[in-house]
Chain A
């Protein structure tokens, strides 16, 4: 597909640590302010400075925010990767080449603009170190001129970021102007441009981790313990920022929260369990390797029935996997995480808005069901920039679940911690410090009876296990249901979750344009709700789209609905990059061709 006005992507290839972030944000925001939907994806290495990094701005009038493999505008600043970067460009694309950067032979149907960035910046910035940063603003000027990005918007975006640092603002403004002037004088017009629209009014641009942090903030988090790990750190750090700003009394300096940086993830989850057992709203954030370390404690919490909110911002592989790439491969191990028969409640945010609402909802579910609740986000949602409607202020109070106070206890003859009184599998709990002789109980793993006394009695043990299973059944009607978009007459279904959502949306449009209409189920949580089953039943074939190698969601569906399993087909994507629509379209079309042949 060829680039056209308001439908293209800009690739900026720079070096990690070269300070291109302000420049890229300026470009992205300026387009956004012109009323055209954008998304920003940062492809960065596991490194502080020196390795190549790419920032992609997708400009899409139709609001497609997923990654695209298209490379319509390349700003080649990095000599290390320029040859490869340029080779990946398609016909009709635009290349902005930093003079002196190596380039292969470029076919004639690409538009090449050579810009002597270094020569331009030299007289503007005497300090060589600073020059490295400011040079990025020159490409902002050039690109904006070429693509018709309004300079007033560029200036707004720049001022929003640097308004508090007038000196830096002036210098960056000068650099933008320099780039623009150079382009006006030396460069011919580009084949496609940005045109003003009205599709971003009242929208926000935000990263998923920041959205999750806001959710936790308004969900009333009181305790956060975490151990730094990419790509989850920005959730903990932005939450800490919000808490410091909005939950610390400016007069007394007193906080209604505690943030503890733990010594490791075992301690992080241990602190969370201790805190929520005591009555705090406690959460932790982590990524794959850290989640593995939490395994023993989460199994314990499942059996001892202690609430916990655990965010996993999924990345690829082990410590020396691809820590800065995305995946959905922690699904299966999280669904059953730990020893014994365990199965967990999992929330699957697909959008930044989901991150926000699940940031609150996870606490309500954890406390209602007295169990760990996992939020499986990923690097693509968590650390990339997404356009969204602004978030709604919660219209409901929180749900703290079944907690008995001293007053409640005064009205009863006895308190049994693990007795199912309501028939929903959920017992009542008391908090330490409750001033009533009946309040105390002894928390331990699964070897307990209804009164929380130790027992190894087989019948009692089985009762405990069956009640926990019953509780999980109750959760089925409490977790967020899937979002279903049915197309009349469609026999082909697509089932997806998490960040794949965006590529699926786009892929469905393209498939439909090619004559293949589909219905779509966007799964938001485990356990599966009844809507999932009826969706599977109503479709002839269901493509399960997921970003892992082993078809983990398909495996879960197969376990749950073996009788429907033959309808399921996998669309997989696991190279570390966010899934794109074309990958889905290609795989579906190929499978459909096979299917038709074999029918």
Chain B
């Protein structure tokens, strides 16, 4: 049986997931974005992915920067804590949240302006630290919220509504993430939920930073002819590397493909990603190959989508800090205020000058 025939993560209990919640429990406030905005489609996929994965909403922290894209955490998982930060600085917030309570699942939403311009520095350092978090870039090639200026991910030759053509090299957030050793890097398209959902579920199971760049057309400012990130153009130039299926750790499903037809990746929590070959065989464990693929895709005006790179075993940031099991946020006073003897010891050292 092939996985796409059923949603294996859904329990037998019809429209409830394995922890007994319905899709409605994963929804949020009504969106105020333009009708048809790609970002809303991504919100839909996030809701569905979180529902199917049976994530406990109260264990999630939703984080974002500023932009139309960064507004969207208000539109899903209304039971979770949300943090709409300042422009481009969600990564630092995420780092603090993650270190303070390592038992939380972090879901970050950013835009291409938020990530690739004002927030590029923080984004790179987040990846470098490997802070456990799903980092979604809702990439439309423009600043939506400030009405259509080019962003740093605009493709060379893409035309703005005003008629201006972008001549500058785009910043590829996936390539940068791979370069910095990110253990989970994928690209997808807001209009392809079948690909996006398993990617999101897998990314939520990854135990380090997972960067998912989702091309997400801005219907108001970047959907015209001449724009490379219009619906039509992305649809035409979408070049998926593989079909992706995600099998969570609590499912025991065997997928049968003919030998050589697919690859399987086991994530750290025991869940599995199955990649079914489409054309050429693609090894997502090869970073150089991934960079090459991104590069060639750009030369050929193609949007290469799918799981670009994965290394499930990279050590997450918290490992480095050697934290106690209890989240720092819930340590009681006795654990964090040393006894009086310690102060006495320090004070007597300061009296005698003994180091």
Contact = CB atoms under 8 A, between A and B. Distances in A.
B166 interface: no
B258 to A, nearest CB: 45
Interface stretch (A228-236, A418-426, A427-435, A501-509): A427-435
B82 A441 contact: yes
B92 A257 contact: no
Contact of A256 (B61, B95, B98, B336): B336
B122 A270 contact: yes
Contacts of A278: 61, 96-97, 100-101, 104, 327, 329
A249 to B, nearest CB: 8
B355 A390 contact: no
Contacts of A260: 95, 99, 321
B353 A220 contact: no
A247 interface: yes
A225 B98 CA distance: 13
A581 B323 CA distance: 49
Contacts of B353: 25, 29, 157, 160-161, 205
B104 A432 contact: yes
A262 B92 contact: yes
A203 interface: yes
Interface string B83-127: 111100101111111111101100000000000000001100100
B336 A282 contact: no
A433 B89 contact: no
Interface in A141-169: 156-157, 160-161, 163-164
Nearest to A435: B58
B95 A271 contact: yes
A444 B73 CA distance: 11
B345 to A, nearest CB: 9
Contact of A217 (B86, B91, B338): B338
B355 A204 contact: no
B92 A258 contact: no
A220 B324 CA distance: 15
Contacts of B214: none
Interface string A275-293: 1111111100000000000
B288 to A, nearest CB: 26
A218 interface: yes
B156 interface: no
A282 B97 contact: no
Interface in A230-262: 242, 246-249, 253-258, 260, 262
A593 interface: no
Contacts of B6: none
Contacts of B328: 222-223, 256-258, 275, 279-280
B96 A275 contact: yes
B323 A282 contact: no
Contacts of B85: 270, 273, 300
B16 to A, nearest CB: 16
A254 B102 CA distance: 14
Given A161-B355, A390-B347, A432-B61, A220 B337 contact: yes
Nearest to A390: B347
Nearest to B103: A433
A156 B103 CA distance: 51
Contacts of B1: none
A394 interface: yes
A258 B346 CA distance: 22
B89 A454 contact: no
A441 B74 CA distance: 10
A172 to B, nearest CB: 14
Contacts of B324: 249, 254-256
Contact of B100 (A156, A263, A280, A444): A280
B164 interface: no
Which one of A164, A203, A393 has the highest number of Cβ atoms from chain B below 10 Å of its Cβ? Answer: A393
A242 B125 CA distance: 27
A440 B57 contact: yes
A407 interface: no
A524 B89 CA distance: 33
B84 A390 contact: no
Contacts of A270: 85, 89, 91-93, 95-96, 122
A542 interface: no
A439 interface: yes
B289 interface: no
Interface in A426-465: 430-437, 439-445, 453-454
A491 interface: no
A511 interface: no
A275 B100 contact: yes
B59 to A, nearest CB: 6
A297 B351 contact: no
Contacts of B322: 248, 253-255
26 contacts: A161-B353, A205-B351, A218-B337, A222-B329, A223-B99, A256-B328, A260-B95, A266-B92, A270-B89, A271-B93, A271-B99, A274-B63, A275-B96, A276-B96, A277-B96, A279-B100, A280-B100, A394-B337, A398-B337, A433-B101, A437-B79, A439-B79, A440-B82, A443-B82, A443-B83, A444-B82
Given A204-B351, A271-B96, 13 more contacts: A225-B96, A256-B328, A260-B99, A266-B89, A271-B93, A275-B329, A297-B89, A431-B101, A432-B104, A433-B101, A437-B79, A442-B81, A443-B81
Interface of B: 29, 57-59, 61, 63, 73-74, 77-86, 89, 91-101, 103-104, 121-122, 125, 321-325, 327-331, 333, 335-338, 340, 342-343, 346-347, 350-355
A-B pairs, 8 with minimum CB distance: A274-B96, A270-B92, A279-B329, A275-B96, A204-B350, A278-B100, A432-B81, A280-B100
